[in-house]
Structure 1
């Protein structure tokens, strides 16, 4: 029987922010089933202070014959998600002198400025040219001069906006907005040095550059770009069933506990608790020209939502460059030099953060992005960094855990939480050697947090998904162990053959939006964080048949853990599933010990850190807001690109200047936007930007060229739209189009589709309906190369409001190469998870008019589940193509694109057979009898299929 989609979507949901609260927890399909029953009445929810700008009551509409939501009538009882705010540190508004004002008082008016005041720029064109040349194109000074000379020569009636690059730079430098000046101080070895001591590092001064973190926080808090994406008080979020949910940083227990301590002083009541979020990590900008290392320090605040911090919209600021002491190899490993490096690190941090100390106990008045003044109390919050820097921060010995006292010989054994109080007590009892050997404590240095109130570094180490899970456990451990197992089991020669087959399987994976392809498998040297993440999505099916099933189960459990902790909202039920996945992983990974790969067990700090994730999620909210991928991404804009723009001579000073100018341009852009001056000006500047893009060799911005893109749309659960333009040169008549696209039954498919639309309630197999009873086919049909699916996917690299747009393609030639026909998910029933979904492969997108109605459709072939449960080893659902009675021809059907949920990724079930050399990935979806539904293709896929 030919299938039909269960429900056609695009019905607005009547609940405010339902996408964020319901779609993320229960999955998109479950949300649809909850909120699209018929008949049903929409309700006016109680406005939530956690959602300023909630639309309140919406006007539902119907779409394409979907279920109808009835507006009006008495509201039904409804359990709602609720937020409880801290009762004392609740962020009350005040005047600039700190006197509290009644709720609802309007903010003081901003300083009056003309609507066309683009100071220090003369007009919008001048600002956009400066922003384009300096930030977007990063044009060298000589090229700027050449461009302006050409401008002057070709526009005889007007002068160019800038005389030369000096004029451009001076204009940017004269911007007052967003400016926090750079400062520096020197640190050197302070103990007496014997004149005969040849140690070079003892006589060198080390310069540290920094910006006042207090002023940087003022700029962040005053940024109007964040005014609707900020929490002014610690909060506890409860789901409709009364269980806790953890999302943004302020929803964790740590912020609430800090507020309780601060509130012991009545003078702080009504203030905003502003926790800092620091991050640091050495980065190398070039190896070919010498080891050029920099040590940037970043600052964010805990009030902004996680999605804002991940988006890098100036919610993460560069505030310093720490010194990197170096010496000869003769002295590099000495204990004295290592202790000096620790003391230099902690002393520098303490000095940089000193300006915040007074405001940690006495509130100060700060203006916020909504124009109101509020009292603020600062506090040191989580520190984002990888494991080597975690032990440096906590003054813990390498190999020990920075959060608990578990022995380095048995990290999976018993151990209590490390605290500053416990360490102080040990200092009073034992000498340094015993502290080092028995407790893993470095006694020669004190963490910088000891100088600040309410700060315990052991409680501030954040979870690090990138280095602990993706790079650490997955790449450095599990993938490496598989290679070692193959060598131990089969010998080097046979293992090399198997590894080559695994590489061919990885290379044979079909394309998918946002999925990096590995044409040569995983056999390359320069790995990035994105490479690790991409390999995680396809590695498990590639090793099936070459390793024992227990290893597959270990990988599956670990990947589930990884994807679960990466969710944007984590509720108590998800925490339970996270614990179960981790327990399964610990149970299954013993196969590596039993086969001799890890004979001594698993006393590995990065794997041990996974046991702390449950607690850290309850403390700090969803870990994706505190991952070192945030700071590593910031390295590119703040360090690596400025270094490439420098002359390499005194590069650090040039990097500071470049960052200062970029901050000023960003602040000016936000100011002009807030005053309503930028949107119209931006439209006028588009031709200029397009011309520059062509000049620099960039492709024009065409939506149809994007496979995957973040989307900043609001209030949308999910929709699928055809490409903007149909195929050019394709026949319009159905018979001719069917012949052209190798779909000879296209006309009959369209007619039976129209019959099904007119007889929706009939439970019948429409493939048996005589064509004589079906409506006539339309005379003209448009064929399209793709459709764009936009859906709420906050756990992925989505837009600011959690939306993601992916391109679903059906083309005979993709990038002048092989054909590409993507697969999609459609709704099939009300069953939960994948049981309520269908998998189809799109052969053609088309639209036509019939009886005054425009129909947007897709010609598809179907896949059916092989079992009622996922594969017990790989953990993925298995499907096979639907074929005719002879098993030779895949069954075709036409569905409305409104029934498409989103794209889906299928990976062949390779079994234990070797893949032939030269196999093309473009043939994968046509060449195998069964496929895995890849729930690891992205986080949204995992959420709705898991």
Structure 2
């Protein structure tokens, strides 16, 4: 109950105070509510009008501000930063609720909203709770909220590397977090009664949960020397393993950008440079780039027209490269180098699963063991393997037992939140003292979200604002528009020969959308994802695009029986090469299927047998591919292919 008294098992929740189904207050009606949403999100109307439109009390949480200043020992010549005050703005959200124990997940990450205009760097602090599913946190449903802007102390170049300034910088960070989280202290030991999502009131105890951030900021949080482990007491030359609790894993920075892109990809280049002369090295690197560029198109997969040789890398670029890089280096590097990439990719995709079982943990540990076994091939190429990003892989199994599946604690979630919480509000501001305007914008967004949730819970947002009017019109006009309103025959009983003939053209569709359940992908709260499969003779008026698919050939069989199938001209089948995946790459191999007379094996199938889009990458071998080869020629030119299980997480689960 609301006073904290326990109810008997099975007692229904206390009814929520109801509003009238047509109560749009403070708006007059649904049209005014949707107009307010459109005016703010699309038209960015003036602040004077916004104050009128957003008079709602829902989601109204005020911002608070405090300042911090250096209070330590002062040298004879006092640097200017010691006399400055550094402000910090925080938001306390009383709507956060969960079950009996609510871990508070924190994340912080500096971001720049404009390069070259000066002092446009912000340091947002985000919070979420551990009692929601990972796909909700991914799905832009405000499960991750901005709770503050941390101060970024500045000084002149003369003092920027001063030890006292660096210490103050770190102390300011810790002190700010302490002030922001101080409101949680009373309810970390004494319960608070909160109505939760099931309608019941629960006694809630809050606790600090994982902290999501990149390695550089983890150093500040843990007060650890750079290149040392964040989790254990091992020195940087002999990193050991002993879990330290609150610093979470980070798939983006630790595995994708760290262990894969910054380490293995770079080490391959160093290996090739060490064993080949300059001219041969350039030929091999160019061929690897051509192989990356020759990868066939796939829905949602970025194309690298110039290969992987460019300077400005983003996290998304690294994610795409890891999906196509393995076949590109095969034939140019030793077998064990291919296997170390295979082991790392297996590790990355296994820990990204939305549901991790005991069997999955065994597979993760096995992939980690193979990674350590095969990465010794680089012993004479790199000075040490004691690198924080790789070493942290040792702690993943223990951290999964502590925190659950890592895909809900990835810094890519907060980086995507920057757009809505930081960058868009900054662009909507007039750029003068923008922080205050950004705070108000986020407050407006919270109010709008709260109003949306309130109206949706009362069924007021079903359909459109004209749905009820349209339904009435359909009923009123049904009799008038009928050709034979007095005909009592059931249309289903009319013979086909008596039906009107269609004299127009039949439409041929060059693409189809496959909807499927993919909980490990960033796919929304329902776990549903959509992939478009194309059979287009002229894609974007430039080239043909003919995708491949997984086909369910026996829906009654246990599991899923998959065949490989091309969407080109007629339906062209592929058949497996061998009875198991390739040992080095871990991927199945396929080749076009032919009849005994040498003709292609073609078939017509029902559209409902299409299971999922498939991505094939050519088996390049050790031969150099032609300079003139285009990516849309690959499926026609090559005679055998890898089934790319790294194309997305759903493909990995299908093919593994």
TM-score between the two structures when normalised by the length of structure 1: 0.64
Alignment partner of 2:172: what SS?
A: helix
Matches of 1:730 and 1:512, distance apart in 2: 34
Matches of 2:232 and 2:279, distance apart in 1: 43
Residues 1:843 and 1:730: Cα distance change in structure 2 (over 3 Å): farther
Are 1:784 and 2:514 counterparts?
A: no
Residue 151 of structure 2 corresponds to which residue in structure 1? Answer: 323
Residue 904 of structure 1 corresponds to which residue in structure 2? Answer: 614
Please report how far the alpha carbon of residue 96 of structure 1 lies from its aligned counterpart in structure 2 after TM superposition: 1.7
Matches within 5 A, 1:550-699: 550-593=336-379, 596-598=380-382, 600-681=383-464
Residue 37 of structure 2 corresponds to which residue in structure 1? Answer: 131
Matches of 2:254 and 2:543, distance apart in 1: 38
Matches of 1:931 and 1:302, distance apart in 2: 42
Matches within 5 A, 1:279-678: 279-290=107-118, 292-411=120-239, 414-417=240-243, 458-593=244-379, 596-598=380-382, 600-678=383-461
Residue 916 of structure 1 corresponds to which residue in structure 2? Answer: 626
Deviations 1:902-928 (A, max 9, x none): 111000111122222232211111110
Matches of 2:504 and 2:174, distance apart in 1: 68
Please report how far the alpha carbon of residue 524 of structure 1 lies from its aligned counterpart in structure 2 after TM superposition: 2.9
Q: Which among 152, 165, 176 is matched to residue 57 of structure 2?
A: 176
Matches of 2:19 and 2:396, distance apart in 1: 50
Q: Which among 180, 185, 197 is matched to residue 77 of structure 2?
A: 197
Residue 3 of structure 1 corresponds to which residue in structure 2? Answer: none
Matches of 2:198 and 2:559, distance apart in 1: 41
Residue 211 of structure 1 corresponds to which residue in structure 2? Answer: 91
Q: Calculate the aligned-residue CA RMSD, in Å.
A: 2.3
Matches of 1:121 and 1:923, distance apart in 2: 58
Deviations 1:104-125 (A, max 9, x none): 3343333343222212222111
Matches of 1:684 and 1:496, distance apart in 2: 64
Please report how far the alpha carbon of residue 896 of structure 1 lies from its aligned counterpart in structure 2 after TM superposition: 2.1
Please report how far the alpha carbon of residue 823 of structure 1 lies from its aligned counterpart in structure 2 after TM superposition: 0.8
Residue 604 of structure 2 corresponds to which residue in structure 1? Answer: 894
Deviations 1:447-497 (A, max 9, x none): xxxxxxxxxxx3111111111001111111111111222222223443233
Are 1:814 and 2:539 counterparts?
A: yes
Residue 13 of structure 2 corresponds to which residue in structure 1? Answer: 107
Matches of 2:503 and 2:615, distance apart in 1: 30
Please identify, of 613-622 and 635-644, the stretch whose mean Cα deviation from structure 2 is larger.
635-644
- 1:172 and 1:665 in contact (8 A); partners too: no
Residue 118 of structure 1 corresponds to which residue in structure 2? Answer: 24
Q: Which among 870, 875, 880 is matched to residue 586 of structure 2?
A: 875
Alignment partner of 1:536: what SS?
A: helix
Unaligned runs of 5+ in 1: 1-94, 142-164, 222-229, 233-271, 418-457, 688-727, 733-781, 845-858
- 1:220 and 1:315 in contact (8 A); partners too: no
Alignment partner of 1:119: what SS?
A: coil
Deviations 1:375-409 (A, max 9, x none): 11111111111111112111111111111111111
Please report how far the alpha carbon of residue 200 of structure 1 lies from its aligned counterpart in structure 2 after TM superposition: 1.6
Residues 1:827 and 1:681: Cα distance change in structure 2 (over 3 Å): closer
Residues 1:325 and 1:685: Cα distance change in structure 2 (over 3 Å): farther
- 2:234 and 2:241 in contact (8 A); partners too: yes
Unaligned runs of 5+ in 2: 471-501
Residue 934 of structure 1 corresponds to which residue in structure 2? Answer: 644
Please report how far the alpha carbon of residue 642 of structure 1 lies from its aligned counterpart in structure 2 after TM superposition: 1.3
Please report how far the alpha carbon of residue 354 of structure 1 lies from its aligned counterpart in structure 2 after TM superposition: 0.5
Please report how far the alpha carbon of residue 328 of structure 1 lies from its aligned counterpart in structure 2 after TM superposition: 2.2
Deviations 1:96-141 (A, max 9, x none): 2112222333433333432222122221111112212322x2x344
Residue 520 of structure 2 corresponds to which residue in structure 1? Answer: 795
Residue 187 of structure 1 corresponds to which residue in structure 2? Answer: 68
- 2:138 and 2:524 in contact (8 A); partners too: no
Alignment partner of 2:605: what SS?
A: strand
- 2:349 and 2:649 in contact (8 A); partners too: yes
Residues 1:322 and 1:166: Cα distance change in structure 2 (over 3 Å): closer
Residues 1:550 and 1:832: Cα distance change in structure 2 (over 3 Å): farther
Matches of 2:558 and 2:587, distance apart in 1: 15
Please report how far the alpha carbon of residue 526 of structure 1 lies from its aligned counterpart in structure 2 after TM superposition: 2.9
- 1:407 and 1:415 in contact (8 A); partners too: no
TM-score between the two structures when normalised by the length of structure 2: 0.91
Please report how far the alpha carbon of residue 611 of structure 1 lies from its aligned counterpart in structure 2 after TM superposition: 0.5
Q: Give the number of equivalent residue pairs.
A: 624
- 1:121 and 1:171 in contact (8 A); partners too: no
Matches of 2:271 and 2:462, distance apart in 1: 59
- 1:309 and 1:316 in contact (8 A); partners too: yes
- 2:101 and 2:205 in contact (8 A); partners too: yes
Please report how far the alpha carbon of residue 821 of structure 1 lies from its aligned counterpart in structure 2 after TM superposition: 1.5
- 1:401 and 1:408 in contact (8 A); partners too: yes
Matches of 1:655 and 1:564, distance apart in 2: 39
